[in-house]
Amino acid sequence: MSQPIEVIGGIDTHTDLHQAAVIDTIGRHLATEAFPTTPAGYRDLLEWLHPHGQVLAVGMEGTGSFGTELSRYRHAHQIAVIEVDRPDRRARRTAGKSDPIDAYAAATAVLAGRATGTPKHRDGAVEAIRGLRVVRASAVRARTQTINQIKSLIITAPAEVREALRSLTIIKLVRRLAASRPGTDLAAPATAVKVALKRLAKRYRHLSEEITEADAELRGLITRAAPGLLALLGVGTETAGQLLVTAGDNPDRLASEASFAHLCAAAPVPASSGRTERHRLNRGGDRQANRALHTIVLVRMRHDPRTRNYVARRTLEGLKTKDIFRCLKCFVAREVYRHLTSGFNGASGPSPTA
């Protein structure tokens, strides 16, 4: 009896429709079709793939955006999904641009071995952390904007208002403004400014309460997902949440400490030429994760004697500050990786197989 052929799928994701394509193991284009982004559409797409042969893997663009739910659906049905980067501009100018072309390109990238990344599952505790962090970040930005508006209004306020408020700290300023009684004559500039300042102070308080609630919720989720992460020196709720989101609900997709450091843009990049041998900071990777590592290093440089001794020793050896930061980021990335993989409790379900 003839054996079924092996095929590879490719999907170009969009808001309303996903374009799917199938190729065989020697790269021949077999079929392509569009499916709606609904549970029924995901089911139809899966049923459409199987009659073409044994599905080895599916390459997908946008697994963290438009294709998130489809990626979850395929993971639940044990279909191996490979994350595919969008083609660069030069390749698109050469091959053209359309949804079927992009879907075939995703499948071809998997076949050629250019795409090997495992997407995040996005169905566990880390996905919950990511959602809460979005709300917290917007509240922090809004609170910063609010206090800047308060300060700006005080600068341009009438002298009687400005002189009474200009020397107060933020906490005392917000407390006084929230408890003030500005009056009812809004035609008077001083009264109108007092009314505006009071409303801004109340908004500031409300946003602060929202941030405090989010921090408490995040701390509980982070402690449950990675119990030892918050115990590390310099690691707080914000930095721990970001590093967990970077790793995802399936940190086992990161094969080694080096892969996690590369993902966080902390891996050294060779920059040698001629007789000069050196490395430079990586400008790629997840910039928010790199920022989290940078924050942890700053805290340790201020409060950790061992880190301060290391910085002093490396400075005497002639190492520049940016190179010292690179070395410390690599160390922190290795330390965090061990906690993300050994004590992680947020993963969900078995790994998908073809």
User: Which pLDDT score is estimated for 16?
Assistant: 93
Average pLDDT over residues 21-28: 92
- Kindly tell me if the per-residue pLDDT of 351 is higher than 50: no
DSSP 252: G
Last residue of a domain, one of 175, 192, 225: 225
- Kindly tell me if the per-residue pLDDT of 336 is higher than 60: yes
- Kindly tell me if the per-residue pLDDT of 20 is higher than 90: yes
Q: Is 194 a domain residue?
A: yes
Last residue of a domain, one of 173, 190, 225: 225
pLDDT level of residue 98 (50, 70, 90 thresholds): confident
Distances, alpha carbon 98 to alpha carbons 15, 24, 80, 87, 92, in Å: 15, 21, 25, 12, 9
C-alpha span between 32 and 18 (Å, rounded): 11
User: Which pLDDT score is estimated for 59?
Assistant: 92
Average pLDDT over residues 110-118: 87
Q: Are residues 242 and 176 in the same domain?
A: no
pLDDT level of residue 349 (50, 70, 90 thresholds): very low
DSSP 34: E
- Given the DSSP bridges, would you call strands 81-83 and 279-280 parallel, antiparallel or unpaired? unpaired
User: Which pLDDT score is estimated for 39?
Assistant: 92
Token pair of 176, please?
A: 């006084």
Q: Is 350 a domain residue?
A: no
Q: Are residues 86 and 162 in the same domain?
A: no
Place of tokens 């969900």: 348
- Kindly tell me if the per-residue pLDDT of 348 is higher than 70: no
The per-residue pLDDT of the chain, averaged, comes to 87
Our count of domains for the chain comes to: 3
Sheet of strand 29-36: strand arrangement: 29-36, 17-24, 6-12, 54-60, 81-83
C-alpha span between 195 and 152 (Å, rounded): 15
Tens of pLDDT, residues 184-196: 888 888 899 999 9
More confident residue, 71 or 332: 332
Residue 167: half-sphere exposure toward Cβ, Cα within 13 Å = 2
Which residues on adjacent β-strands are paired with residue 276? 273
Tens of pLDDT, residues 198-223: 999 999 999 999 999 999 999 999 99
Token pair of 73, please?
A: 């659906």
- Maximum distance among all Cα pairs of the chain, rounded to whole angstroms: 95
Q: Are residues 338 and 242 in the same domain?
A: yes
Q: Is 77 a domain residue?
A: yes
Q: What is the CA radius of gyration of the chain?
A: 27
User: Which pLDDT score is estimated for 91?
Assistant: 65
Q: Is 348 a domain residue?
A: no
User: Which pLDDT score is estimated for 86?
Assistant: 75
- Kindly tell me if the per-residue pLDDT of 14 is higher than 50: yes
Q: Are residues 254 and 159 in the same domain?
A: no
- Kindly tell me if the per-residue pLDDT of 277 is higher than 80: no
User: Which pLDDT score is estimated for 89?
Assistant: 67
C-alpha span between 202 and 208 (Å, rounded): 10
C-alpha span between 125 and 73 (Å, rounded): 17
Instruction: Report the candidate in 42, 127, 66, 57 with the shortest Cα–Cα distance to residue 348.
Output: 127
pTM: 0.81
User: The CATH number of the domain where 25 resides is what?
Assistant: 3.30.420.140
User: Which pLDDT score is estimated for 70?
Assistant: 87
Tens of pLDDT, residues 135-167: 999 999 999 999 999 999 999 898 888 988 888
Q: Is 1 a domain residue?
A: no
Domain residues for the domain of 142 are: 125-225
Kind plus residue range of the DSSP H or E element containing 56: strand 54-60
CB neighbour list of residue 242: distance below 8 Å, 6 or more residues apart: 133, 288, 289, 291, 292
Token pair of 343, please?
A: 């004590």
More confident residue, 270 or 201: 201
Q: Is 118 a domain residue?
A: no
- Kindly tell me if the per-residue pLDDT of 353 is higher than 80: no
pLDDT level of residue 1 (50, 70, 90 thresholds): very low
